[in-house]
Structure 1
């Protein structure tokens, strides 16, 4: 998924994260005593992404498309079945366990649910300071409390509240605590796995503004995962669209939202609510038929073909490559990629 110019193109240069043919299959087994594998859930299947310093790459798609599994692979919560993850030019698969642990400092994660991602038995100060207990060389023991207070203040909370417990904070405040914890080791990359989906709309805006401010202050790179396309457009420089474990299309925010070429991207944009009622009649709605296939038994060829109005014989026979198509500079994994006006996204 090569990078193209985005809103921060002037400062986007150095590649800090890339994956090569990243695969994660979860085995399906039968039997009680003697289990045997009878299949696999293909959660992530050959994903190539590229993230540059100071850039935000949005990953969008329906539930079950592999977004959260990708996040877990990038942060080390899951081990790839195959493929590689390269951080700052170093392939993590070539490192020892101790070397990987140190390299992972550069990639931290903000979880989706602020109500379950924080240990209810720990104080906020202990939660935010826990990374210092694991990586003891980052901060001397005598300085850790001061650093925790600094982090709490950085995300807009009262440093005097570090002895409180998570249940004493609202959802938006808890997510700020999660962001403070992610910042503790001063990472270069933060993976945000639907960080605002569990929050009220007004609180979502506050958290998004906080993330943008911190990015500018610390030159952070974000992988921002969401199913809400309007949220992603607000923060992303580039956007990758996933379906059944594969990336279908990738481009700058304007390329994806104003000039989508893949039928699945066009269908997603067509489903975005239009707040202005005078524009609703102008909308070219795309209603997908059928259900999302099982990732344990995906269709041959193009995985979207069973729901695509453009599908032809070649779509069942050949997997379309994620490459630029004639007349369209950004990559799209469709044999018949072409722009379609979906009024809509540009007006949301």
Structure 2
């Protein structure tokens, strides 16, 4: 594995719940993120998938310091971001940029495209002197496939795909090493999704970028990611290389997600095992004891309520080599073929949404 430039350990974000007006008293907490660990290597793309509300976007905001962690560490090249301030923090934030989910609301409608893309230069003037900024903005527009002459237009004059390209150009302005993409194509049509994904793929090679790619579309995540982490209720429950997760999943939740991916072949669709989860996702204010997935899991036993499963290679796979020997937080992990590998939509052209 290449050098790890981002290391996340024990990451927690709890939002307090209070009662009272004059004398506020904390009566609980929303456990949006409750112990997340992962590493990102130089030039790698780590995909994070899961249902809505599982904490994906909260993790993204903490990585770029838009939210302060309740506990845990985010280390960029060995430095704990949470302990930095002033010039040191600005330097780190320059190297970790974000592409937001909604390409319209993330762009100021009162600013021209030139001002939006060039705004990072106002905060980091050492990157581009004032006299060179217009030219650099035009170069960025050209890099993301837009006409440099559009520099004086406003966001409402562009389509959704073009607006997302503007957001990507803004993210590239400071030549970062890491881009955190929070569902960057979920608001776009399928054909436009493919254009944006291919653009990000090309830019990764051209600018030597590392991506944290957050989405709920499993086929798109597989197309762009080197490794995948599956989140459920604030924690990563399974992680591994893309083929390990998609073709050799061992966690029941991952298997349920994969069973919900649309299969274009009618015959394969009839043969696949469809897994329907019972009940609703538990409230993040009242997380079940032990394994947090046990209330919806068909494999749940007494041990699941008493013991929190560790995110590690399951015991039955530790002495064997193969794609099933990857980290999975389940006491009764086993490999189940939900959709045969050759029939899985792996090229990113489908619209494989998991539940939620």
TM-score, scaled to structure 1: 0.95
User: Structure 1: where are the runs of 5+ without partners?
Assistant: 1-11
Classify the secondary structure of the residue corresponding to 2:240.
strand
> Aligned partners of 1:321 and 1:81: how far apart in 2?
21
Equivalent residue runs for 1:104-115 within 5 Å = 104-115=93-104
> Aligned partners of 1:110 and 1:217: how far apart in 2?
18
> Aligned partners of 1:288 and 1:84: how far apart in 2?
33
The Cα shift of 1:98 comes to 3.0
Classify the secondary structure of the residue corresponding to 1:161.
helix
The Cα shift of 1:172 comes to 0.1
1:70 is aligned to 2:59: yes
Q: Deviations over 1:243-299 (max 9, x none)?
A: 000000000000000000000000000011111111111110100000000001110
Structure 1 runs (4+) deviating above 4 angstroms are none
The Cα shift of 1:210 comes to 0.1
Q: How many residues align?
A: 337
The Cα shift of 1:33 comes to 2.0
Classify the secondary structure of the residue corresponding to 1:84.
strand
The corresponding residue for 1:331 is 327
Q: Deviations over 1:106-149 (max 9, x none)?
A: 11000000111100000000000000001111111111111111
Equivalent residue runs for 1:247-266 within 5 Å = 247-266=236-255
> Aligned partners of 1:101 and 1:37: how far apart in 2?
33
Q: Deviations over 1:61-95 (max 9, x none)?
A: 00000000000000111000010100122111332
Classify the secondary structure of the residue corresponding to 2:10.
strand
The Cα shift of 1:343 comes to 1.1
Q: Deviations over 1:142-174 (max 9, x none)?
A: 111111111010000000110000000000000
Contact 1:274 1:344 in 2 (8 A): no
1:178 is aligned to 2:167: yes
> Aligned partners of 1:101 and 1:79: how far apart in 2?
15
TM-score, scaled to structure 2: 0.93
The corresponding residue for 2:155 is 166
1:31 is aligned to 2:27: no
Equivalent residue runs for 1:134-213 within 5 Å = 134-213=123-202
> Aligned partners of 2:344 and 2:236: how far apart in 1?
25
User: Structure 2: where are the runs of 5+ without partners?
Assistant: 318-323, 346-356
The Cα shift of 1:233 comes to 0.7
Contact 1:269 1:344 in 2 (8 A): no
1:284 is aligned to 2:273: yes
1:341 is aligned to 2:337: yes
